[in-house]
Structure 1
Amino acid sequence: MWLDLVPPFAVDAALAALAAHAVPGVEVVDVDAGRSTRTVPGGHGPAVVSVRLGEDRVDAHLDLAHPDDEPAVVALVRRWLDLDHDPAAVADVLGDDPVLGPLVAARPGLRVLGHVDGFEAAVSTVLGQQVSLAAARTFTARLVAAFGTPAPGGLTAFPRPETLAAVDPDQLRVAVRVTGARARTVHALAVACADGLTIEPDMDPAETRHRLLALPGIGPWTADYLALRVLGDRDAFPAGDLVLRRALGGVGAAAARATAERWRPVRAYAVTHLWTAAAYL
């Protein structure tokens, strides 16, 4: 099926970001073909979605556990790729900015990539705390290999909260090869999500942030990053992010936050432009 969008779509930037975050076993990104294939949670079981990105539309193929899952899966894909974004709205705010203006001109259709699964995103983000993106992908792949479930196309679906909540933290530590503290954070997050914490765009962002920060090992950077990637907060700004601060000249979090005041209410797009220029392209 074809998924429409408001052109242009900065395809190269999106593919570079998708490839940089792709977790082995869960998703496959073919940059040359312009295609990303990954597991997506569905109401009747895991689905696999393959999308080919184009500047004016996206070609999506859905391998569903049940036909009734199609509307929800399509909605997840649209949020994942930010297909309802209007690039002109961001250009109106950032186009004349001395820092962001040249980046917006270079990539006018840049999207804020979301995620198809808030729990997966949260666990992956915890595993990525204070390590490189490559290490985070490796840790997440080990978790999936140990506790995930088979999905179509030879992929593996990310484990559900109930699955990880039932695993002893020490077993998590051994399987993923992370510190005991990191394993305990993953376990606490799984227990919270199994008990009702929902990390998705329809939830109250302030309440979600409050509940996340109450968990051991989750601080402002993790909560702010998830607000940007999962909750759909287009003014989210992870001021403590190291790559972001380096892109702004090596400033501290407070200075980054002060600089970003002029980018409201689309600071998430400003962050994505800076990340893309500094880390992906």
Structure 2
Amino acid sequence: MNTHVSLPVDEPLDAASMLGSLALHAIPGVEVTDRAAGTYRRLLPTVAGPRPVTVTITAHAVLVEVDDQGVEDAGVGAVDADRLDDTDPAAPADLLRFVRRWLDLDADLAAVRTVLGNDSVIGPLLEARPGLRIIGYPDGFEAAVMTVLGQQVSLAACRTFGGRVAEAWGSDGPGGLRLFPDPERLAALTPDELQQGIRVTGARARTVQALAEACADGLQIAPENDHTDIRRRLLALPGIGPWTADYLAVRALGDRNAFTPGDLVLRRALGGISAKDAAARAESWSPYRAYALCHLWASDPFLAALPVAERRV
């Protein structure tokens, strides 16, 4: 029997933008998005093992369905909707908090409006999309690998590369979904094996391998960890520069004041200014620079076709 929970959210919630973003970044085999049905499905980790979770996003609430069918046969217990042990990630209360943080459902949009609403650039964008949230990643290592694979290519190509990683080195999970490989699995591979399997450049394969080694050695890209240390360790890796570290601060670490001043789409949305000028322009957007960034990204009609790149200026 599946567990169904409705997560109330403070309106407005821009369901279309959220589903669109999830679809644009979905890894084949790992994530399934049905924009017409308003659903997103993937495996989420718990101490009892991975569980298929379907999220239905509406303008008024986010519905979470935890699929117990098949997991008991694999030796994993079913979710007990009455269990509220906050120390156990398999408990609904903790799993639901995880979903709320991942989808930014507890965003203080009133505070965001107070800071950004009167800005000449961001104010009109916020007025057009008042319910825009910052979507995170369920797993920091997966986020980092996908960000590296997205350098200098389109989002479509990035998804293709991610699908190859999951197919070659991931594993089958319940519900017909794939598990993205863990750092130890990719760290055990050579750059040549990664290059041949993913079909990326040698430099990109070396970056993925170095990232996997770092994460296998203890680097945990997670919101609760030291953001300064994570940034330092990321920047020490070959092929990872400020843009990647900044982007991961926004998407994987949940830093609502993080910003990517060198981002090409951002700078174009601001009239083609330099990274230095973009950083200066964003000073007044603190402590919600990440929301301003996401509004600028969402305002670009060509974003889906543009490279997600390591943009050094």
Fold shared per TM-score above 0.5: yes
Matches within 5 A, 1:17-56: 17-56=21-60
Separation in 2 of the partners of 1:180 and 1:212? 19
Q: Any gaps of 5 or more consecutive residues in structure 1?
A: none
AA at the equivalent of 2:217 = D
- Return structure 1 stretches of 4+ with deviation > 6 angstroms: none
AA at the equivalent of 1:250 = G
Asked if the contact 1:79/1:115 (under 8 Å) is kept, the reply is no
2:127 corresponds, among 97, 105, 109, to 105
Matches within 5 A, 1:192-203: 192-203=214-225
Asked if the contact 1:42/1:72 (under 8 Å) is kept, the reply is no
Separation in 2 of the partners of 1:241 and 1:157? 30
Separation in 2 of the partners of 1:251 and 1:121? 28
Specify the SS of the correspondent of 2:290: helix
Percentage identity across paired residues of the two chains:
57
Q: CA deviation at 1:47?
A: 2.1
- Say whether residues 1:185 and 2:185 are aligned partners: no
Q: CA deviation at 1:46?
A: 2.2
Separation in 2 of the partners of 1:220 and 1:73? 32
2:178 corresponds, among 156, 179, 188, to 156
Separation in 2 of the partners of 1:234 and 1:49? 26
AA at the equivalent of 2:187 = A
The residue aligned with 1:209 is 231
Q: CA deviation at 1:74?
A: 2.3
The residue aligned with 1:255 is 277
- TM-superposition CA deviations, 1:184-218 (whole Å, max 9, x none): 11111111111110001001111110011111111
What's the TM-score once normalised by structure 2's chain length?
A: 0.86
Asked if the contact 1:40/1:157 (under 8 Å) is kept, the reply is no
AA at the equivalent of 1:4 = P
2:66 corresponds, among 62, 65, 68, to 62
- Higher share in helix: 1
Q: CA deviation at 1:15?
A: 1.1
Separation in 1 of the partners of 2:23 and 2:266? 19
Q: CA deviation at 1:219?
A: 0.5
Separation in 2 of the partners of 1:166 and 1:46? 23
Matches within 5 A, 1:223-242: 223-242=245-264
- Say whether residues 1:245 and 2:306 are aligned partners: no
AA at the equivalent of 2:242 = P
AA at the equivalent of 2:291 = Y
Q: Aligned pairs, how many?
A: 280
AA at the equivalent of 2:62 = V
AA at the equivalent of 1:223 = A
Q: CA deviation at 1:56?
A: 2.2
Structure 1 range deviating more: 180-189 or 74-83: 74-83
Q: CA deviation at 1:73?
A: 3.0
- Say whether residues 1:114 and 2:136 are aligned partners: yes
Specify the SS of the correspondent of 1:257: helix
The residue aligned with 1:15 is 19
CA RMSD of aligned residues (A): 1.4
Asked if the contact 1:110/1:273 (under 8 Å) is kept, the reply is yes
AA at the equivalent of 1:17 = S
The residue aligned with 2:96 is 74
Q: CA deviation at 1:104?
A: 0.7
Separation in 2 of the partners of 1:244 and 1:40? 31
Q: Any gaps of 5 or more consecutive residues in structure 2?
A: 69-75, 80-87, 305-313
Separation in 2 of the partners of 1:72 and 1:195? 27
Separation in 1 of the partners of 2:67 and 2:194? 30
AA at the equivalent of 2:111 = A
AA at the equivalent of 1:204 = D
AA at the equivalent of 1:145 = E
Q: CA deviation at 1:135?
A: 1.1
Separation in 2 of the partners of 1:271 and 1:151? 35
Separation in 2 of the partners of 1:20 and 1:35? 14
Q: CA deviation at 1:76?
A: 2.4
Separation in 2 of the partners of 1:33 and 1:192? 39
Separation in 1 of the partners of 2:46 and 2:207? 26
- Say whether residues 1:269 and 2:288 are aligned partners: no
Q: CA deviation at 1:150?
A: 0.8
AA at the equivalent of 2:297 = W
